Amino acid sequence: MKVRVDVMLKTGVLDPQGEAVRHALGSLGFEGVEGVRQGKVIELDVAQDTDEATIREMCEKLLANTVIESYAIHMG
């Protein structure tokens, strides 16, 4: 089964990579971009009987730094 985990910095945490992308877009002539947040997508191939609680445990222990990042799990 395929599982996608989206990891983003929490609101209020500085995002220097996102700010660099916003600045670069402005330099390329793209007007009106007021903010950019950059995250990561992790795709997992897991056994069909893997439950969401197990995926959540993976996120809490390794895939996301829950102090500064939030995550969303998409199973299917």
Give the model's pLDDT for residue 76: 83
Running along the chain, 76 residues long, what does each successive block of 10 average in pLDDT?
Answer: 98 97 97 96 97 98 98 95
pLDDT at 64: 98
Per-residue pLDDT, 43: 98
Residues 6+ apart with CB under 8 A from 73: 3, 4, 5, 52, 55, 56, 59
- The domain of 46 spans 2-75
The total number of structural domains in the chain stands at: 1
pTM: 0.89
3-state secondary structure 36-57: CCCCEEEEEECCCCCCHHHHHH
Q: Would you say 42 and 5 are in contact if contact means Cβ atoms under 8 Å apart?
A: yes
Q: How many CB atoms lie within 10 A of CB 64?
A: 22
Provide the CATH number for the domain around residue 25.
Answer: 3.30.1280.10
